[in-house]
Amino acid sequence: MTIKYTRIALIVAVLLGLGSCTKGFDELNTNPNDIEKVTPGSLLTPTVYRMSTYFTVRSNDFTWEIMQTGLSNPSVANGVHRYYFTEQSGDGTWNACYSYLRNIQEMEDAAIAYQKPVYQGVAATLRAFVAGILTDSFGDVPLSEAIQAEGGITQPKFDTQEEIYNAMVAALEEANEFYNSDSQMDGNDLLYSNDKSKWQKFNNSLLLRYYLRQSKRINAYEKIKNILDNPTTYPIFTNNADAAIVSISGLSPYDYAWGRRQDYVNFTAMAEFFVDNLNELDDPRRPFIMTEATELVGGAHVSIGYKGIPAGHSGDLSAYNFSPSTPNGDLMFPSTVGTPIHEVLMPFSEVEFIKAEAYLGLGMDDAAKAAYESGVKASVEQYGGTLPATYLSNPAAQFDGTLERIMLQKYLGLFMVDYQQWFEYRRTGYPELPKTPYMFYDGEMPTRFMYKDEARRFNPDNYTKAVEQMGGDDFHTKVWWEK
């Protein structure tokens, strides 16, 4: 069955329990049929801002914990770092993704009305970005029949993840052609300042991500190589300046994701696993990401270097007689408001690590090594750091021809990138995370969010079919590309 991907839409809020947070951008709720007031360019920046801000926060309060990057401190009970999930754990993601999909649909409608194919391309790129997070978080979800209440569809079917991936790939391929049109961007573009060539690179870099995500299901490495071998047809990220990184000024209406510096810094400790790996690498990213730990000596706090606390701990940290490293507030909320910070949708380093894995899988070890080293360098430079000349000769960093080595550096490179560390761990099993007796489910990491309750209550027949085709609706039901 073919999904008409360009018409992915949102079912009415009352049916699926959707919510929205406009962050001051009321124009997002403007009637898309009122074309004289709504242009595709006017919808772009509000959508990008909301997306990047929401997923930056989620990377901190969810992905950090489940992937042992950082954790709440103190944390005496439950917590995601102990794999504690509830039926509502994914509700915010469900609501946000469908809200963004509606905004993107309005952008596409306006692009068609104004005969602006470049914005049809931008809409397709953003839709694929959001739909990918949605399906990778839940599995099978309503897409092809969603947002069609006005057309009489109030109980949309749940498309299979395989159908969704096929549709996303087809849409990104079509969008690649839209970017080659004579149409130009002319709105307010917070991400790329109306540079459609960079939007095209983002589009095709997402194509690499989605091919790789299917590595257990399709001949992903060959498909990736085909793109890499045809850079004129498929331009992709080639440096950090190309990456999908949103610069946020902190000045209204582009507020930082956290309301106050202390909201980001306080009550959070960096996790032992993450910090220990960076220490073994003598990694130059550490000061950009975190503070140094301290211990009390003679009434004074003395620095003891970078140290974290274990995720999944018992709640009793009395044996750790030090104050652990905490997030560096300057990364997300600088002391001087108005200093730009960066929210990452997709980093250049991710593309290099995709290349490294594909080349490794195809037996092209020299190309894999070059891409791996480029990815490490790109990630360090993304923070403004410099890769030391001796870094890649460190036995802990040196390319060793294994997927595990690539994935450790990819894990570090995906710091603060929505749920991508979680998704990639589920796909590969790397990096190997320590387990503790205090984790739920005997230390078996949850692989998805449960469906939102309103989907079960108001769309019961299609929900039941989805559960049957998924093989369940619990935290350990595997999505299609995991099996």
pTM equals: 0.93
Predicted pLDDT of residue 28: 43
pLDDT, tens digit, 9 for 90 and up, residues 302-336: 999 999 999 999 999 888 899 999 999 999 999 99
**Does residue 99 have a pLDDT over 60?**
yes
pLDDT, tens digit, 9 for 90 and up, residues 334-388: 999 999 999 999 999 999 999 999 999 999 999 999 999 999 999 999 999 999 9
Query: With contact defined as beta carbons under 8 Å apart, do 295 and 321 qualify?
Result: yes
Say which range, 9-13, 84-88, 283-287, has the weakest mean pLDDT: 9-13
Q: What is the mean pLDDT of the chain?
A: 92
Binning pLDDT at 50, 70 and 90, where does residue 9 land?
Answer: very low
**Does residue 6 have a pLDDT over 80?**
no
Full DSSP string of 458-474: HSHHHHHHHHHHHT--S
Q: What are the chain's domains?
A: 20-238+446-473 (1.25.40.390), 261-331 (no CATH)
For 316, other C-beta atoms within 10 Å of its C-beta total 9
Cα 425 to Cα 74, 199, 405, distances in angstroms: 26, 27, 13
Predicted pLDDT of residue 152: 78
pLDDT, tens digit, 9 for 90 and up, residues 406-450: 999 999 999 999 999 999 999 999 999 999 999 999 999 999 999
Predicted pLDDT of residue 7: 42
pLDDT, tens digit, 9 for 90 and up, residues 22-47: 333 333 444 444 445 689 999 999 99
Predicted pLDDT of residue 318: 86
**Does residue 19 have a pLDDT over 50?**
no
Predicted pLDDT of residue 166: 98
CA 459 – CA 264 distance, rounded (Å): 38
The single-letter DSSP state of residue 323 is B
Task: Please list, in sequence order, all residues whose beta carbon lies within 8 angstroms of the beta carbon of residue 262, skipping any fewer than 6 positions away.
Answer: 329
**Does residue 219 have a pLDDT over 50?**
yes
Greatest C-alpha distance within the chain:
73
Predicted pLDDT of residue 18: 39
Its sign, for the CA torsion 413, 417, 421, 427, is: negative
Average pLDDT for 197-226: 98
pLDDT, tens digit, 9 for 90 and up, residues 244-262: 999 999 999 999 999 999 9
pLDDT, tens digit, 9 for 90 and up, residues 285-305: 999 999 999 999 988 999 999
Predicted pLDDT of residue 38: 86
Predicted pLDDT of residue 16: 44
Average pLDDT for 179-185: 96
Q: What are the beta bridge partners of residue 72?
A: 268
pLDDT, tens digit, 9 for 90 and up, residues 441-462: 999 999 999 999 999 999 999 9
CA 297 – CA 294 distance, rounded (Å): 9
Its sign, for the CA torsion 380, 381, 386, 389, is: positive
Predicted pLDDT of residue 70: 98
CA atoms within 13 A on the CB side of 469: 18
Binning pLDDT at 50, 70 and 90, where does residue 76 land?
Answer: confident
Predicted pLDDT of residue 149: 64
**Does residue 392 have a pLDDT over 50?**
yes
User: Exposure of 307 by Cβ count < 10 A (0-12 exposed, 13-18 middle, 19+ buried)?
Assistant: buried
